[in-house]
Structure 1
């Protein structure tokens, strides 16, 4: 069971000064990793330039994609981007890879939306391509994070990744692509067990991408509010939500205990929160850093 490590997924910035301020604030609050998602839309940063800047203005945190949407890319050009970023960040890069899950973004980019099996195959192919490029350039490969929820992505992560990323979201059956349901605690047990069954004795670090953090004296009210906000699309009752590992509701002490319990249960020692939770989650980082 590893020591806790904490990351923040920064979505974007108004300008250079805003981005620098966010990165410096994350470092000052004790976060270990600054990551950037790979999404299209207003205010979204291109990941690799943003990460290069993040590494340039900070001293301690690692930087990484969470995650690169590999089917967006020509693999030769992608390998060049990754290798250059690895060099420009002083080997502080963690390379996060995924198979893509938002059909609307592929539509916006004018790219074909292929079946999940084909997107996962493209992801798997990228690993050999990247490793070959690193060898040609004489670059030490950055730590590899592979994130997803499907059997195909989790089995690939179990075989290949240094870090396996869990978001606990799955495509809602019968709904348009990009409509997600939240895995409850028991489903997460099953996903982690599936992952471990394919790891062949390997013990990668496990990352949990937390969907919501609310510091409050009333955990039940916070869970109910979240349930209303997402319009109860998962049909999960409040008691179930309170035990769901992707949600953190309670006082700082209660959230600390939740994370300790979930590390013991699932092995999640690397915890990432989204940009809006940066300040809210900071007291928890302070309590658990290095433990």
Structure 2
């Protein structure tokens, strides 16, 4: 069981100055990793220039993608971008890859929306192409993070990844593509068990992407408020919400205990939060750093 590591997923920047300030604030607060997502839309950063800049204006944090949507890309052009980023970040890159999950983004990009099995096959081929490109360039591959929730992605991560990412989201039955529900604690147990059954003795680092952090003296009230806000989570009652590993409600001490318990139960030692939780989560980072 590894020591805790903490990351923040930064969504975008209004300007160079804004991005520099964000990255330096992440470093000052003690986070270990600055990552960016790979989404389309106003204010969204391109997934490789932003980490490159982050590495240039900080000293300690690793930088990376969480995660690059491989089916968006031509293999040769993607490999060129990755290799360049490895060089420009001084080997501080953690390469996060996924198979894509938002049909609307493929539509916006003018790309075909192919079935999940084919997207995962494309991701697998992309890994092979990247390895060939690294070898041709004489470059040591960066740590590989593979993130997802399906059998296909998790079995691939179990075989190939240095870091396995668990978002704990699944497509809501009968809803449009891109409508998700959170896995509860028992479903996460099953996903972890499935992952380990395919790891063949390997022990990759396990990352969890926390969807919400709420500092409160009343955990139950916070959970009830969250359920009311997200009405498509009807399958989770309040007690289930309080145990869901992608949610943190409570005082700093309570959240520290929750993360310690979840590391013991699931193996999650690498914790990532979204940008809006940067300051809220910082006291937890301070308490658990190095433990």
1:78-117 alignment runs, 5 A limit: 78-117=78-117
Aligned-pair RMSD on alpha carbons? 0.6
1:104-253 alignment runs, 5 A limit: 104-253=104-253
In structure 2, runs of 5+ residues without a counterpart are: none
Using the TM superposition, name which of 212-221 and 229-238 deviates more.
229-238
The one-character-per-residue Cα deviations of 1:133-178 (angstroms, maximum 9, x if unpaired) are: 0011111100000000000000000000000000000011121110
SS at match of 1:96: strand
SS at match of 2:235: coil
Distance in 2 of aligned mates of 1:160 and 1:37: 21
Moved over 4 A (4+): none
Distance in 1 of aligned mates of 2:173 and 2:224: 24
The one-character-per-residue Cα deviations of 1:203-228 (angstroms, maximum 9, x if unpaired) are: 00000000000011010111111111
1:26-45 alignment runs, 5 A limit: 26-45=26-45
Distance in 1 of aligned mates of 2:232 and 2:47: 32
Contact 1:181–1:234 (Cα < 8 Å) also in 2: no
Distance in 1 of aligned mates of 2:250 and 2:232: 20
SS at match of 2:129: helix
SS at match of 2:106: helix
Q: What is the CA-CA distance between 1:234 and the residue it aligns to?
A: 3.8
Distance in 2 of aligned mates of 1:274 and 1:19: 15
1:74 matched residue in structure 2? 74
The one-character-per-residue Cα deviations of 1:169-192 (angstroms, maximum 9, x if unpaired) are: 001112111010110000000000
Q: What is the CA-CA distance between 1:233 and the residue it aligns to?
A: 2.9
Distance in 1 of aligned mates of 2:266 and 2:235: 23
2:254 matched residue in structure 1? 254
Q: What is the CA-CA distance between 1:22 and the residue it aligns to?
A: 0.3
In structure 1, runs of 5+ residues without a counterpart are: none
Contact 1:171–1:180 (Cα < 8 Å) also in 2: yes
Contact 1:182–1:234 (Cα < 8 Å) also in 2: no
> TM-score, normalised to structure 2's length?
0.99
Aligned pair count?
291
Change (3 A) 1:192 1:13: same
